[in-house]
């Protein structure tokens, strides 16, 4: 099993921004003075900085969402600031669209540790509070470790991560009960490795397309199910009801 070696995003951000500042000089943006190689190097450095910033924004957005959950009631972070949801609060601060915030939250949740609350209180009397500790993380399959690790290490942008994650989906082991339980997860691992290799040369749209092609090849039953769902969605409501009513089996005499 291979893993990405991840440098903390804050360190990557600091290094990349320092390189950008050196290339631009003290008088601000003057890209027209750069030669071709310097211009591409500048773009590469700014991309690395953006990827690191995306991770920070994703982690912070996921935490804002957690602190604004329905279980917090009116004491939630967003609710105390007059907003209904954490998404609305992140939108207000960042100026991002709802879809962008939702994707950032999902990415942050993918990388966040699992937090558990212990039953044993800390302190005594009325001031006692539940103890919060990071629980042992659940076992994560190799294919998911690879794609999450690539995001955390800056090898994938957030858009590339979602292209692979949503395009490939998860191994539908329930469609193939006759197969060994590890067969599909291992096939997903091979597919993720190939997609990670291609990510550096493919546009995000093409990467998502390749991920969906891989999913369809690995899950032919899912192809049929998804086609039937799309076909049913095109039917008028009356036809949907008629198709949903089970037909009685003929009685054998």
Give the model confidence (pLDDT) of 60-97 as tens digits: 999 999 999 999 999 999 999 999 999 999 999 999 99
Q: Which residues have a Cβ under 8 Å from the Cβ of 240 and sit 6 or more positions away? A: 232
For 129-145, the pLDDT digits (tens) are 444 444 555 688 999 99
The pLDDT of residue 117: 40
| Tens digit of pLDDT at every position of the chain (253 positions) | 445 666 889 999 999 999 999 988 877 677 888 999 999 999 999 999 999 999 999 999 999 999 999 999 999 999 999 999 999 999 999 999 999 999 999 999 998 864 444 434 444 554 444 444 445 556 889 999 999 999 999 999 999 999 999 999 999 999 899 999 899 999 999 999 999 999 999 999 999 999 999 999 999 998 888 878 877 878 776 555 555 544 444 334 3
Query: How many beta carbons lie within 10 A of that of residue 110, not counting itself?
Result: 18
Enter the pTM of the model: 0.77
Count of alpha carbons within 13 Å of 107, Cβ hemisphere only?
Answer: 32
* Helix 86-94 / helix 98-111 crossing angle, nearest 10 deg: 110
What distance in Å separates the CA atoms of residue 89 and residue 64, rounded to the nearest whole number? Answer: 8
Count of alpha carbons within 13 Å of 205, Cβ hemisphere only?
Answer: 0
């Amino acid at each position: 099993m291979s893993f990405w070696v991840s440098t903390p995003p804050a360190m990557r951000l600091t290094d990349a921004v320092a390189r950008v500042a050196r290339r631009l000089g003290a008088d601000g943006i003057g890209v027209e003075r750069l030669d071709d190689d310097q211009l591409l190097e500048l773009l590469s450095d700014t991309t690395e900085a953006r990827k690191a910033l995306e991770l920070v924004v994703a982690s912070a957005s996921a935490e804002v969402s957690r602190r604004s959950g329905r279980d917090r009631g009116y004491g939630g972070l967003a609710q105390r600031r007059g907003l209904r949801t954490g998404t609305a609060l992140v939108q207000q601060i960042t100026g991002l669209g709802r879809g962008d915030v939702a994707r950032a939250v999902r990415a942050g949740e993918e990388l966040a540790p699992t937090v558990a609350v212990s039953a044993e209180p800390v302190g005594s009397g009325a001031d006692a509070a539940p103890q919060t500790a990071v629980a042992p993380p659940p076992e994560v399959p190799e294919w998911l470790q690879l794609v999450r690790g690539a995001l955390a290490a800056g090898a994938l942008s957030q858009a590339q991560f979602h292209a692979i994650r949503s395009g490939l989906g998860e191994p539908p082991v329930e469609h193939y009960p006759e197969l060994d339980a590890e067969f599909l997860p291992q096939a997903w691992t091979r597919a993720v490795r190939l997609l990670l290799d291609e990510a550096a040369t493919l546009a995000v749209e093409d990467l998502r397309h390749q991920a969906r092609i891989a999913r369809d090849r690995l899950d032919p039953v899912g192809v049929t199910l998804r086609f039937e769902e799309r076909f049913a969605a095109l039917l008028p409501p009356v036809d949907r009801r008629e198709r949903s009513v089970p037909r009685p089996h003929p009685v054998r005499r």
